[in-house]
């Protein structure tokens, strides 16, 4: 079950009045949210709408082929995942929570030489599978890592390198697809109508996660629950509701959106969310071409750790944030705090469990923020397992799509990212980018 508690969103009120404003706003916005829901579902069939991610949880044929592939590669001890942005962050976050039963995943999503070299030093090419993931098949960071990985494999394995590579890319575009075909490499497809940051439930996320021993089927089952919720009436439609909460915050000037799971295991979830919201909603123009400069700034945090860091700012700093907690109701394992003679001052802890303490910390922080009129709400899941995380991630993708509708921005393009990529190509002398190279030279930009 995934539930949302909006009690503290109406943080200006305390006591029995709390929640009144939320109920009123939800009623007032229902027609707009219904229109957004209908528009999204109507467009979900059109390839150019880039809503293919909506259908990924139903793609059981893809799931089966991923599972078969993972089963056929039980010899693999380590997977070198070469990808960046949407081609890495989802699997990275989920592996941190759910991995451990299968191969170890190592993500190369930067081009700093030392960590990359250290991986090549440490890993055994005979038991390492290189999963290169790039929708465009051209991203410089990923392609650079792939060139190095190919060389590393070839030097140790000769022709045997081919068995140690699996490619995940567009069915047609880019350099990777023909390369995979030419060498007969194992490969998977990213559907053309699924953008990078919405691709975690395509082979982009499923292949490495299945190799890591994650229950990928449960991820998709959970994601289908989010789809069902996103179809429902507004009163039951949690993505529409959390989108509204974000919209109300934006309207009141709370333009920083903090995501704060109370779980170390979920510590990388905010990084995935940051990309999802930042790239989807940070836009200069709306869909009619008017200049809008929209987009809340997503900010990662983790509880209870950040109680001793950012929470001071959240509670007493500018009134510019909405804080979203992610909490789980059940611990898979718990530890009881033993009594200790000489430490009687800690008696309030004796006999309590660590999870009890975590829960108290989260509840206390949410209240401390509300009492200081800092809006916050809590997304509850039972436990951070594959089913609930599938639900949560798909929920957040839907929330993003709803916000795109409410703000009339295209949540599925990323012109700012593309421009950065083109400038990089120009700086490195890639043919076809001469004009940009001249612009950079005029501006005195050097690598
Ligand atoms: O969400 C996006 O579209 C981007 O973050 C991409 O995932 C990222 O730029 C990597 O692109 P590609 O998968 O084409 O290498």
Q: Considering the domain boundaries, does residue 130 fall inside one?
A: yes
Are 200 and 336 in a shared domain?
Answer: no
What digits encode the pLDDT tens for the residues 34-93? 999 999 999 998 989 999 999 999 999 999 999 999 999 999 999 999 999 999 999 999
Are 336 and 378 in a shared domain?
Answer: yes
Whether 139 lines ligand 1, by a CB cut-off of 6 Å, is yes
- Measured between alpha carbons, how far is 149 from 80 in angstroms, rounded to an integer? 9
Residue 447: pLDDT over 90: no
Residue among 50, 84, 173, 208 to mutate when testing ligand 1 (max atoms within 8 A of CB): 84
Q: Considering the domain boundaries, does residue 45 fall inside one?
A: no
Average pLDDT over residues 331-346: 97
Spatial neighbors of 265 by CB under 8 A, at least 6 apart, are: 96, 97, 384
Q: Considering the domain boundaries, does residue 332 fall inside one?
A: yes
Residue 219: pLDDT over 60: yes
Closest by CA position to 401, among listed 19, 7, 12, 54: 54
Q: Considering the domain boundaries, does residue 277 fall inside one?
A: yes
Residue 107: pLDDT over 60: yes
Residue among 133, 397, 417, 425 to mutate when testing ligand 1 (max atoms within 8 A of CB): 417
Are 236 and 165 in a shared domain?
Answer: no
Going from the Cα of 142 to the center of ligand 1, the distance in angstroms, rounded, reads 10
Share of the chain above pLDDT 90, in %: 91
Catalytic status, residue 183 = no
Residue 15: pLDDT over 80: no
Q: Considering the domain boundaries, does residue 47 fall inside one?
A: no
Catalytic status, residue 25 = no
Average pLDDT over residues 399-405: 98
Are 288 and 334 in a shared domain?
Answer: yes
Average pLDDT over residues 213-230: 98
Element (DSSP H or E) covering residue 437: helix 434-442
Q: Which residue, 214, 239, 263, sits at the end of a domain?
A: 214
Pairing label, strands 283-285, 291-294: antiparallel
Closest by CA position to 271, among listed 82, 57, 95: 95
Are 57 and 23 in a shared domain?
Answer: no
Pairing label, strands 128-134, 104-108: unpaired
Residues of the domain holding 436: 416-447
- Measured between alpha carbons, how far is 372 from 364 in angstroms, rounded to an integer? 12
- Residue 417's pLDDT is 82
Catalytic status, residue 421 = yes
Are 101 and 207 in a shared domain?
Answer: yes
Q: Considering the domain boundaries, does residue 402 fall inside one?
A: yes
Are 135 and 241 in a shared domain?
Answer: no
Are 338 and 191 in a shared domain?
Answer: no
Whether 279 lines ligand 1, by a CB cut-off of 6 Å, is yes
Confidence of residue 206 (pLDDT cuts 50, 70, 90): very high
How many residues would you count in the chain? 447
- Residue 184's pLDDT is 98
Average pLDDT over residues 397-417: 95
For residue 107, list its beta bridge partners: 81
- Residue 342's pLDDT is 98
What percent of the chain is helix, strand and coil (3-state, nearest 5)? 55, 15, 30
Q: Which residue, 214, 232, 260, sits at the end of a domain?
A: 214
Are 199 and 272 in a shared domain?
Answer: no
Whether 85 lines ligand 1, by a CB cut-off of 6 Å, is yes
Average pLDDT over residues 400-429: 92
Going from the Cα of 1 to the center of ligand 1, the distance in angstroms, rounded, reads 31
For residue 323, list its beta bridge partners: 258, 376
Give the least confident one: 9-13, 232-236, 266-270, 383-387. 9-13
CATH of the domain at 66: 3.40.50.10490
Q: Considering the domain boundaries, does residue 267 fall inside one?
A: yes
Are 153 and 230 in a shared domain?
Answer: no
Pairing label, strands 186-189, 128-134: unpaired
- Measured between alpha carbons, how far is 10 from 27 in angstroms, rounded to an integer? 15
Q: Considering the domain boundaries, does residue 429 fall inside one?
A: yes
Are 154 and 236 in a shared domain?
Answer: no
Element (DSSP H or E) covering residue 260: strand 256-261
Distances, alpha carbon 234 to alpha carbons 176, 223, 381, in Å: 43, 19, 20
Q: Which of 279, 321, 395, 405 is catalytic?
A: 279
The pLDDT mean for the chain works out to 95
Average pLDDT over residues 247-274: 96
Are 109 and 203 in a shared domain?
Answer: yes
What digits encode the pLDDT tens for the residues 301-331? 999 999 999 999 999 999 999 999 999 999 9
Residue 275: pLDDT over 90: yes
- Residue 370's pLDDT is 92
| Alpha-carbon torsion angle 134, 140, 144, 150, nearest 10 | 30
- Alpha helical stretches, state H, 161-310: 176-183, 203-211, 216-231, 238-251, 269-281
Residue 295, SS3 per DSSP: coil
- Residue 13's pLDDT is 58
Q: Which residue, 199, 214, 229, sits at the end of a domain?
A: 214
Whether 84 lines ligand 1, by a CB cut-off of 6 Å, is yes
Number of domains in the chain: 3
- Residue 352's pLDDT is 98
Name the strands in the sheet holding 104-108, side by side, starting at the edge strand that comes first in the sequence: 104-108, 78-82, 128-134, 165-169, 186-189
Average pLDDT over residues 181-189: 98
First to last CA, the chain: 50
Share of the chain above pLDDT 70, in %: 98
């Amino acid at each position: 079950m995934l539930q949302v508690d909006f009690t503290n969103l109406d943080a200006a009120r305390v006591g029995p009045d709390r929640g009144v404003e939320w109920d009123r706003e939800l009623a007032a916005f229902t027609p707009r949210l219904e229109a957004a829901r209908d528009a999204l579902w109507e467009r979900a069939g059109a390839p150019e709408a880039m809503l293919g991610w909506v259908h990924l949880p139903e793609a059981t044929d893809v799931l089966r082929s991923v599972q078969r592939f993972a089963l056929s590669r039980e010899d693999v001890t380590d997977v070198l995942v070469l990808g960046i942005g949407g081609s890495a962050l989802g699997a990275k976050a989920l592996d941190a929570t759910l991995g451990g039963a299968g191969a170890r995943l190592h993500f190369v999503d930067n081009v700093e030489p030392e960590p990359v070299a250290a991986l090549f030093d440490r890993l055994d090419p005979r038991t390492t599978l290189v999963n290169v993931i790039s929708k465009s098949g051209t991203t410089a960071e990923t392609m650079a890592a792939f060139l190095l990985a190919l060389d590393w494999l070839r030097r140790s394995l000769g022709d045997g390198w081919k068995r140690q590579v699996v490619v995940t890319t567009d069915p047609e575009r880019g350099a990777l697809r023909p390369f995979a075909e030419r060498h007969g490499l194992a490969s998977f497809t990213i559907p053309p109508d699924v953008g990078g940051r919405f691709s975690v439930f395509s082979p982009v996320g499923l292949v490495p996660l299945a190799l890591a021993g994650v229950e990928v089927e449960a991820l998709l089952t959970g994601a289908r629950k989010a789809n069902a919720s996103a179809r429902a009436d507004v009163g039951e439609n949690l993505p529409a509701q959390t989108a509204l909460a974000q919209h109300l915050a934006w309207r009141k000037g709370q333009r920083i959106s903090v995501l704060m799971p109370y779980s170390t295991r979920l510590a990388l979830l905010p990084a995935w969310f940051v990309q999802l919201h930042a790239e989807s909603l940070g836009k200069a123009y709306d869909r009619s071409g008017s200049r809008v400069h929209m987009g809340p700034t997503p900010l990662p945090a983790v509880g209870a750790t950040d109680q001793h860091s950012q929470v001071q700012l959240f509670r007493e700093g500018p009134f510019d944030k909405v804080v979203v907690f992610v909490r789980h109701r059940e611990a898979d394992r718990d530890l009881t705090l033993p009594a200790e003679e000489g430490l009687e001052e800690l008696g309030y802890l004796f006999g309590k469990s660590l999870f009890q303490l975590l829960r108290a910390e989260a509840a206390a922080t949410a209240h401390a923020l509300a009492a200081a009129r800092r809006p916050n709400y809590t997304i509850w899941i039972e436990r951070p397992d594959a089913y609930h995380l599938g639900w949560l991630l798909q929920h957040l993708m839907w929330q993003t799509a709803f916000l795109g509708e409410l703000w009339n921005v295209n949540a599925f393009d990323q012109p700012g990212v593309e421009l950065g990529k083109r400038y990089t190509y120009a700086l490195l002398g890639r043919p076809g980018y001469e004009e940009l190279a001249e612009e950079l030279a005029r501006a005195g930009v050097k690598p």
